[in-house]
Structure 1
């Protein structure tokens, strides 16, 4: 039976064969099996020390009697049966950092799009309309990044050289960060920061603290020339409040890679607002995804059974 079992499907139903191949390159001494059917999964997890994939239900987990590590292929892990893992002392890791470069680059693209009003230029191109419009400069702006994990830090790094002021928001502000200023989720500190923010970037997990963080009160606090950028989860911003603020131009615009609901229904008003850019949850997509994910697991397999901390351990 295999040492490592790769479950059959990845994000959006994509096959995991590329991931399995990357693991075989990095771990040639390990027997790595790719499950191609549900029956394969049930058989191949039985004696595997490591199972890796996007999801696993409790029935399949119960069959994995020798399991020491579940290596999640997503950055998010709230969908996993964490209590069941904990009760059996099975380690869980995630894919945090794998898509940090692509997500950070996408954020920079959004910010520059609104700084130079490129979305308006694109619209006028479609109409073959050669007429000037208002553009801005990113220089001397204040960018607030909510979440200073791998993606948030990648965003801040890429903003260096643009002569902007940066504010970071994290649960533990005493840890500091790469931004000019770091604050916590205290309402007063947060709204003081929002009041001087030109670009508000959401790059945080969806938790009880961050759910609907950008609500009517927050949107009223942001300056009218500000832009919201969301590559976190749709639920971090209250959709109804956001639509209202965009319609009334209480903020200048929004770039949304994630929405609530998702997928965004065809008749949703966000599609038709000219001050909104919507992309279909593509910030994390990168050709390097499986190679980077395989690097994490290749680092962790030799650490199993030792006192070394597993990379990206979340449970």
Structure 2
């Protein structure tokens, strides 16, 4: 049973931004702000931690910030800690997996960024479909080059969007794709679970090789797991039809980057919108920067000024559940 007056560890920024909302959800809660430097606060008996994006700003999943590490290292010293809520939808980072290994409850913020991430994916799809990289390259040369002619943009009618991952992000991508007239096929872990919102067809990972040759657009919106790591390899890319495009707003590790680079350089893949990479930041000497058929985005698909409040709302809903002794929403699991 949760304590009647739970201690909640959070950043000083989150305490100032969300303190009133948290106290409204749990009037007896004891907020314990963790400053970016200096002495750490007294946190004896603290049961809950709220990990917010301000701790992560300026870093990447491969290069964590000193503020993030200071906060998460502090959590490791607290034997009373029982539950950690994080701002992210994905929890495949080693620090989160270690929390699960320690036996802590870990909840993510799945759904908070779904609309922004899906809109980013569709923005990338539309930019590639309407050949905006070609238009912008002509603009840099101050050249007036209309898109009429042999390589005109294809109409969406009759095209298929194959979306890997049918969670909140994948479902919103599917809904938006259908709004533009694309047929949508979702690849999910459990195809017997029914047809998710936003899709015309759902299939399992075992059926992915059968669907790749029919995909004009391959959109990746899945978590990084043992099933999805390296899922889109050279063999998978070779099964895509000529002229297909790829959009990745999931994790860089879902795609074999060397195989993707070769497919793009050789023209077997028409183009790609890439928000995530195996190594982030993307090194300055990466060939992806210079490819005319690639749009590089710096892992910003979730960026939205409303995101912190949506994450806080998820945390406060879970906080009420915690105090009531109910099951928490968005429970994370070890990567499998």
Q: Displacement, 1:307?
A: 4.7
Q: Displacement, 1:286?
A: 0.9
Contact (CA 8 Å) 2:32, 2:41: kept in 1 or not?
no
d(CA) in 2 for partners of 1:171, 1:258: 22
d(CA) in 1 for partners of 2:17, 2:169: 22
1:172 counterpart = 2:190: yes
Q: 1:274 aligns with which of 292, 298, 321?
A: 292
Q: 1:233 aligns with which of 225, 237, 251?
A: 251
Q: Displacement, 1:95?
A: 1.5
Q: Displacement, 1:212?
A: 1.3
- Bigger shift: residues 220-229 or 28-37: 28-37
1:74 counterpart = 2:98: no
1:146-177 deviations in whole A, cap 9, x for unaligned? 00111101111222322211110011011121
1:103 counterpart = 2:112: no
**What 5-or-longer segments of structure 1 have no aligned partner?**
9-14
d(CA) in 2 for partners of 1:107, 1:81: 26
Q: Displacement, 1:52?
A: 1.1
Q: Displacement, 1:126?
A: 1.5
Q: Displacement, 1:58?
A: 7.5
Mapping of 1:1-315 within 5 angstroms?
3-7=7-11, 16=14, 19-21=17-19, 23-24=21-22, 26-27=24-25, 29=27, 30-37=29-36, 42-53=40-51, 60-78=74-92, 79-80=94-95, 82=97, 85=100, 87-88=102-103, 90-133=104-147, 134-176=152-194, 177-178=196-197, 179-186=199-206, 189-304=207-322, 306-315=324-333
d(CA) in 1 for partners of 2:129, 2:72: 48
d(CA) in 2 for partners of 1:85, 1:119: 43
d(CA) in 2 for partners of 1:301, 1:125: 52
Contact (CA 8 Å) 1:58, 1:84: kept in 2 or not?
no
Question: TM-score by structure 1 length?
Answer: 0.88
Q: Displacement, 1:51?
A: 0.9
d(CA) in 2 for partners of 1:35, 1:303: 24
CA gap 1:19/1:183 in 2 versus in 1, 3 angstroms: farther
Q: Displacement, 1:16?
A: 3.8
Contact (CA 8 Å) 2:184, 2:200: kept in 1 or not?
yes
d(CA) in 2 for partners of 1:201, 1:91: 31
Three-state SS of the structure 2 residue aligned to 1:136 is coil
1:107-157 deviations in whole A, cap 9, x for unaligned? 111111111112211111121111123222223210000001111011112
d(CA) in 2 for partners of 1:268, 1:145: 26
1:13-63 deviations in whole A, cap 9, x for unaligned? xx54565346447436133232113555x4344322311115678853343
d(CA) in 1 for partners of 2:96, 2:221: 24
**What 5-or-longer segments of structure 2 have no aligned partner?**
53-67
